Structure 1
Amino acid sequence: MTWVSLTEGVVMCYYESWAVYRPSYGRVTVSDLDPDLCTHYVYAYAGLDTNFRIKTLDPWGDLCEGGGLCGYDKFTGMKAHNPNLTTLLSVGGWNEGSATYSQMAASSANRAVFIYTALDLLHRHNFDGLDLAWAYPTQNGGAWEDKENLVILLKEMREALNPDGMVLTLSMPPNEAIVNQGYDIPGIVEHVDFVSVTTYNYHGSWDHYTHHHAGLYAFAEDTGDNLNLNVDASVTHLLEKSGMPPAQLVMGVATYGRCWTLNSADEQHGYYAPAFLPGDAGPWTGEKGFMAYAEICKKQQDEMWTVAVEFGCNEPFTYHMPSNRIWCSYDDQKSVAIKAQYAAEKGLAGVMVWSINDDDAHGVCHDRKFDLTWTMAETFNAATNN
């Protein structure tokens, strides 16, 4: 396979380290990853301890000590195959909360502890940089001062990483209100290489009706807040109102679906169908209201699932009737290509994949492994070269 050149576009792939514990085809180890596919591989996640030091969240999976799985070293070891690859360690994530990060960023002494320990961990395991996934400044236990303190933190992190030529990236949400409250975009972009925006999870089983969780554009029947719960609305806000340079923005694409249980098998099957319960957990990921793309496409192979696209939309949804009334919105090969084309037309730096392990990692449904991610990479680079 041909390596995707960084000069052509960023393909930033997050790897969920806990995928190593999933059963059957859901189990994806570092050894299953393709070093030639992504320009940036991001290992999720590290965390913070109460003394503001970076910490491994899964010592058995991340480290080699005591016969562990050596996740960090195997991950950065992919560079032996592809020396052009950039490997990043992501710190944060939703489960970490925001309070400890808020306290860390509020004090120069606390920031120094975090930065020193982070740099040490990166060096010991040969990472090329750090991805900050604080979820989210001013939210989730944070403080109003977080918006200003985040910029200070990034400035100091950049100064610490610069001598070794390390990369610094930031992951941020797509929600306009959260962005306005917690992110000083002009200040942030002075200090980071790229910002990846998580343009998915706009809808889910927390809504009592079906909808696409990662629609590129608004649906014709959307009203009110739902008019802004789509990729284009988020990207447009960042570029036109928040001061985000397109060349630093990496647009997220999800390789998983959000699922509901329809209230009735006899009612409508499109968007806004009544659905008060999440869909059954996927057999490999084990989370209600969620299925990896690999789980969805395997079920479509093995069972009678209907696939449809709402009028005026690009992304598919699928449902299994009437036995269990499961309904899932997701992206397929065609819709991820459209999104990659969109990112290229907007002049964005590239695409981000969450997560590489939820793609068809073992080639269960396609002739090649990681088909969605390959499709995005190929489409984006072809579009930027035209």
Structure 2
Amino acid sequence: MKLLLLFTLVACVVYLTESKALVCYYSSKAVYRPEPFKYEVEDNDPFLCTHLNYAFAGLGEDFTIKVLDPRNDLCDDGGKCGFDRFTRLKEQNPELKTLLSVGGASEESSRYSMMAEDPATRKIFIDSTLKLLKEHKFDGIDLDWEYPTKKGGSPDDYVNFVTLLREFSEALHPEGMILTAAVSAGKNTIDPAYDVPGMSKYLDLINLMTYNFHGNWEKYTHHRSILYAHPKDEGRALTLNQDYAVNYWIEKGAPKEKLVLGLPFHAHTYTLDSAAETGIYAPASNPGPSEGGYNQICASQMTEDWTIVHEPDMNEPYGYYGLNWFAYEDSISLGIKAKYAVDKGLAGCMVWSIDADDFHGTCYGKPRPLLNAINDALNL
């Protein structure tokens, strides 16, 4: 009886302390930012994320995987060896998984659609990807096709994307590699683009891009990654929040233990029409200043006369100075969202992108306040 009780207690402790995934995208373009925002591969802390995704590789016209920045990514001809330096972070933390993310918003969806429709071109893409992953000791691939059936894609992508995932799974999993995907959180994309049960069979993690719900393409202010619907939301806007997206993916058949809640470290900006209206749904006919990372936001808050607002009906802050209006996340809002992921039973959280945190600790004296807040809430 005592042994049974001890086993039960140990099992409970293991269950309660089971770590959650924290998937961190690293934008390799961050090496080209001016100081103090320039971010090198070695600026990644290999102990704060469970998965680090190198963004991005692409798809070539010949349907092979394409290295988008050979000078930065490869060692050839005096290159900076970004891929190899990235995967060597595992020497500090052998538990870390390093993945190569393929796609992104700049890639042509139509090319991925053409590749996915033909068994021969799928094989070219998969074989070349596996070869590149092995050469640079990546642990797997993250597919960021934005989006099947959209932006020049074909209705057949709905089926072909699952076929592509199945064939990738058959190639990667026997090699001990993992397969993940970054997917839309918008209902208008989810419905035509994703056979959710089919995808879920082959993906190890499903990274929900639960951000960019709103932006300066609209003529009013709103938050890009609001957790719950705002009281003023109505109609389609009621679907443009993280809680709705998570529940909809689960309703469509995604296992919640594979879903990863996406959290942005970047802001969306607007130019207010009038300084007299500054809240959510304030008129804003024009884009704001160039959108930056949290590190740029908090640096600006130290030099400009910002008004920062935490509405009682929102978990996220927004701020403004003059007619410049910013929707962003801080350590408090991200901690709330990470706890939501835990309470919901999700696999964990995803960050786009790790290089936008205040990694120097310039603003409040503590490096990486956003990433540490997520870690604290996930109990990593």
TM-score (norm 1): 0.93
- Residue 254 (structure 2) aligns with: 244
- Residue 127 (structure 2) aligns with: 116
1:128-151 deviations in whole A, cap 9, x for unaligned?
000000110000111010010011
After superposition, where does 1:241-320 map in structure 2 within 5 Å? 241-265=251-275, 267-281=276-290, 290-320=291-321
Equivalent of 2:61, from 37, 50, 65? 50
Q: Letter of the aligned partner of 2:334 in structure 1?
A: V
SS at match of 1:34: coil
Equivalent of 1:21, from 32, 43, 46? 32
Q: Letter of the aligned partner of 1:329 in structure 2?
A: A
How far 1:306 sits from its partner (Å)?
Answer: 0.7
How far 1:7 sits from its partner (Å)?
Answer: 4.0
How far 1:362 sits from its partner (Å)?
Answer: 1.7
2:214 aligned with 1:203:
yes
- Residue 343 (structure 1) aligns with: 341
- Residue 95 (structure 1) aligns with: 106
For 2:36 and 2:270, locate their aligned partners in 1 and report how far apart those are by CA, in whole Å. Answer: 23
How far 1:192 sits from its partner (Å)?
Answer: 1.0
Q: Letter of the aligned partner of 2:354 in structure 1?
A: I
For 2:332 and 2:178, locate their aligned partners in 1 and report how far apart those are by CA, in whole Å. Answer: 32
1:84-126 deviations in whole A, cap 9, x for unaligned?
1000000011110211111111011001000000000000101
Q: Does the CA contact (< 8 Å) of 1:271 and 1:310 recur in 2?
A: no
How far 1:366 sits from its partner (Å)?
Answer: 3.0
For 1:244 and 1:162, locate their aligned partners in 2 and report how far apart those are by CA, in whole Å. Answer: 20
How far 1:368 sits from its partner (Å)?
Answer: 2.7
- Residue 94 (structure 2) aligns with: 83
354-363 or 110-119, which deviates more: 354-363
For 1:7 and 1:81, locate their aligned partners in 2 and report how far apart those are by CA, in whole Å. Answer: 22
Equivalent of 2:366, from 365, 368, 373? 368
How far 1:291 sits from its partner (Å)?
Answer: 1.8
Q: What's the Cα RMSD here?
A: 1.1
For 2:247 and 2:365, locate their aligned partners in 1 and report how far apart those are by CA, in whole Å. Answer: 36
For 2:364 and 2:255, locate their aligned partners in 1 and report how far apart those are by CA, in whole Å. Answer: 36
SS at match of 1:210: coil
1:251-287 deviations in whole A, cap 9, x for unaligned?
000011100011122x211111111111112xxxxxx
For 2:286 and 2:149, locate their aligned partners in 1 and report how far apart those are by CA, in whole Å. Answer: 30
Give ranges in structure 2 of 5+ residues lacking alignment.
Answer: 1-16
For 1:24 and 1:276, locate their aligned partners in 2 and report how far apart those are by CA, in whole Å. Answer: 32
2:109 aligned with 1:72:
no
How far 1:189 sits from its partner (Å)?
Answer: 0.9
For 2:115 and 2:294, locate their aligned partners in 1 and report how far apart those are by CA, in whole Å. Answer: 36
For 2:154 and 2:36, locate their aligned partners in 1 and report how far apart those are by CA, in whole Å. Answer: 41
1:189-239 deviations in whole A, cap 9, x for unaligned?
111100000000111110111011110011111111111111111111111
SS at match of 2:226: coil
For 2:367 and 2:23, locate their aligned partners in 1 and report how far apart those are by CA, in whole Å. Answer: 17
For 1:119 and 1:378, locate their aligned partners in 2 and report how far apart those are by CA, in whole Å. Answer: 35
How far 1:25 sits from its partner (Å)?
Answer: 2.0
Q: Does the CA contact (< 8 Å) of 1:270 and 1:310 recur in 2?
A: no
Q: Letter of the aligned partner of 1:254 in structure 2?
A: P
Q: Does the CA contact (< 8 Å) of 1:256 and 1:291 recur in 2?
A: yes
Equivalent of 2:168, from 135, 157, 167? 157
For 2:153 and 2:237, locate their aligned partners in 1 and report how far apart those are by CA, in whole Å. Answer: 26
Distance 1:366 1:57, change over 3 A: same
Q: Letter of the aligned partner of 2:246 in structure 1?
A: V
Give the percent of matched residue pairs that are identical in Structure 1 and Structure 2: 46
How far 1:380 sits from its partner (Å)?
Answer: 1.6
SS at match of 2:126: helix
- Residue 327 (structure 1) aligns with: 325
For 1:194 and 1:29, locate their aligned partners in 2 and report how far apart those are by CA, in whole Å. Answer: 26
For 2:340 and 2:61, locate their aligned partners in 1 and report how far apart those are by CA, in whole Å. Answer: 42
For 1:381 and 1:292, locate their aligned partners in 2 and report how far apart those are by CA, in whole Å. Answer: 25
For 1:64 and 1:375, locate their aligned partners in 2 and report how far apart those are by CA, in whole Å. Answer: 35
How far 1:381 sits from its partner (Å)?
Answer: 2.2
Equivalent of 1:134, from 145, 151, 160? 145
- Residue 50 (structure 2) aligns with: 39
1:145-173 deviations in whole A, cap 9, x for unaligned?
00100111111101111221101001101
SS at match of 2:302: helix
Q: Does the CA contact (< 8 Å) of 1:197 and 1:251 recur in 2?
A: yes
Q: Letter of the aligned partner of 1:125 in structure 2?
A: H
Q: Does the CA contact (< 8 Å) of 1:186 and 1:244 recur in 2?
A: yes
Q: Letter of the aligned partner of 1:346 in structure 2?
A: K
- Residue 8 (structure 2) aligns with: none
Q: Flag as ranges the 4+ runs of structure 1 deviating above 3 A.
A: none
Equivalent of 1:358, from 351, 356, 368? 356
Q: Letter of the aligned partner of 1:52 in structure 2?
A: F
What is the count of residue pairs matched by the alignment? Answer: 364
TM-score (norm 2): 0.94
SS at match of 1:28: coil
